[in-house]
């Protein structure tokens, strides 16, 4: 056999199974098998004896460059079967050693190889005409599967494949950002760079491969998990209970309860009863928004409108200073109070009650005295 043919006929392992086989009989005994039909007959006999059904086949004769010839026969089976029994049957009964090749990806490829030099090849009855046919659309997939099976990277060879290095998950990164007190993507990038200098590239690979969406998700989820217990406790508290907790806690830095004295001064200078104002705020916090409960604080600049209710911004999650656009109130539904609308200060629960004029029927606080310049 020629060197090229020896390379082409790469033998299968004993336990391998295929649906398409290329069978080669080298150095043919011309006295025993003078024609293509004679070789086909022993191959068909072997498959029949092994209870394997042939769907289609093609057989061709190829002359050697020096002397003699060999047969190529491509067969397609009804289902995948091992080849070793067929080869052994031919060897024992007919005293012929044939080779089963593993070179070709599909029947079309093997058919083209078999008929490449013999114009008088023979085929099974009803064989499709492949003379001018195009390669099947699954050719690349078949080739990839065969390469994977050979290298051990398909599912059957998964045990032999190299274990892929495990990458960081979003959860692992979320725990990392909390442990390192990282709050932004820039801080995470800086930390990843420090890790790279130490030879640790897992975090940098996560940022580069997973993209900004996964990075932002990891930071958000990490802090949500961290803060979830305290948020649940807060969610179960009423607004008055949160106010009581703030009252019993420490005053904010540099305040020293000066706000209370200044707030009383503002109310007295504007002839407003402290008890009446306190009662209105308490009722609104207790009952939530509703007619005759919302609070409107109005007056000229520098009269203390913002200051008089500013502690609520510290105690509650507030929605303040909406922009003057069509979507100014996006996000208000998730807040506990609303504390500013233009020149008016409004306290309410969850939603704005119908615009500035809708507040005129509620509790109105008019401040007219400027208390600083």
Q: Which two tokens stand for residue 237?
A: 């508290």
Instruction: Among 280-284, 298-302, 328-332, 336-340, name the one with the lowest average pLDDT.
Output: 336-340
Residue 18's H or E segment, with its range, is: strand 17-25
**Alpha-carbon distance 23 to 11, whole Å?**
10
Residue 64's H or E segment, with its range, is: none
How many other CB atoms are found less than 10 A from the CB of residue 303? 21
How many other CB atoms are found less than 10 A from the CB of residue 211? 11
Q: Which two tokens stand for residue 344?
A: 């008016």
Q: Which two tokens stand for residue 99?
A: 């080779």
Q: Is the pLDDT at 162 greater than 70, yes or no?
A: no
Instruction: Among 23-37, 295-309, 312-326, name the one with the lowest average pLDDT.
Output: 312-326
pLDDT of residue 277: 86
Closest C-alpha to 306, from 239, 371, 238: 371
DSSP tally for the chain: helices H, then strands E: 13, 10
User: What global pTM score does this model have?
Assistant: 0.39
pLDDT of residue 44: 92
Residue 277 DSSP SS3: helix
pLDDT of residue 276: 86
pLDDT tens, position by position, 165-188:
778 899 999 999 999 999 999 999
Query: What sign has the CA pseudo-torsion 274, 279, 280, 281?
Result: positive
Fold entry, domain 17-128: Replication Protein E1; Chain: A, (3.40.1310)
Cα-to-chain-centroid distance, residue 191: 24
Percentage of residues in the chain with pLDDT exceeding 90?
17
Closest C-alpha to 62, from 18, 8, 108, 131: 8
pLDDT tens, position by position, 263-304:
888 888 888 888 888 888 888 888 877 777 777 777 887 888
Residue 223 contacts residue 178 (beta carbons within 8 Å): yes
Range among 102-116, 129-143, 185-199, 246-260 rated most confident = 185-199
pLDDT of residue 137: 64
Q: Is the pLDDT at 334 greater than 70, yes or no?
A: no
pLDDT of residue 123: 93
| Residue that wins the pLDDT comparison between 142 and 231 | 231
Geometric angle at alpha carbon 206, from 204 and 210, rounded to 5°: 130
Q: What is the dihedral of CA 250, 253, 257, 258, to 10 degrees?
A: -170
Cα-to-chain-centroid distance, residue 148: 25
Residue 25 contacts residue 42 (beta carbons within 8 Å): no
Residue 106's H or E segment, with its range, is: none
Q: Is the pLDDT at 357 greater than 50, yes or no?
A: no
pLDDT of residue 343: 37
Tell which phi-psi region holds residue 170, choosing left (phi > 0), alpha (psi between -120 and 50) or beta: alpha
């Amino acid at each position: 056999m020629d060197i090229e043919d020896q390379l082409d006929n790469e033998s299968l392992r004993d336990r391998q199974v295929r649906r398409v086989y290329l069978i080669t009989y080298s150095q043919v005994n011309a006295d025993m098998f003078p024609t293509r039909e004679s070789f086909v007959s022993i191959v068909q006999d072997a498959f029949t004896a092994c209870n394997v059904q042939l769907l289609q086949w093609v057989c061709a004769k190829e002359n050697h460059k020096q002397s003699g010839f060999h047969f190529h026969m491509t067969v397609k089976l009804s289902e995948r079967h091992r080849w070793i029994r067929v080869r052994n049957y031919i060897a024992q009964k007919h005293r012929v050693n044939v080779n089963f090749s593993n070179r070709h990806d599909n029947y079309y490829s093997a058919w083209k190889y078999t008929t490449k030099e013999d114009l008088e090849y023979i085929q099974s009855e009803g064989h499709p005409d492949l003379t001018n046919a195009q390669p099947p659309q699954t050719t690349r997939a078949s080739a990839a599967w065969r390469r994977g099976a050979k290298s051990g990277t398909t599912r059957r060879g998964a045990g032999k494949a190299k274990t892929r290095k495990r990458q960081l998950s979003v959860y692992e990164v979320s725990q990392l950002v909390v442990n390192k007190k990282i709050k932004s993507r820039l801080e995470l990038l800086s930390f990843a760079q420090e890790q790279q200098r130490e030879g640790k590239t897992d975090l940098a690979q996560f940022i580069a491969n997973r993209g900004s969406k996964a990075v932002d998700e990891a930071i958000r989820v990490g802090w949500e998990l961290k803060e979830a217990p305290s948020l649940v406790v807060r969610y179960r508290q009423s607004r008055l209970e949160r106010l009581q907790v703030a009252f019993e806690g420490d005053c904010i830095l540099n305040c020293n309860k000066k706000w209370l004295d200044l707030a009383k001064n503002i109310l007295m200078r504007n002839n407003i009863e402290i008890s009446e104002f306190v009662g209105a705020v308490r009722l609104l916090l207790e009952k939530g928004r509703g007619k005759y409960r919302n609070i409107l604080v109005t007056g000229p600049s520098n009269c203390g409108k913002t200051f008089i209710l500013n502690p609520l911004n510290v105690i509650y999650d507030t929605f303040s200073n909406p922009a003057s656009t069509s979507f100014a109130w996006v996000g208000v539904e998730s807040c506990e109070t609303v504390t500013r609308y233009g020149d008016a200060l409004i306290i309410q629960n969850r939603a704005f009650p119908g615009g500035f004029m809708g507040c005129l029927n509620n509790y109105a606080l008019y401040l007219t005295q400027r208390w600083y310049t």
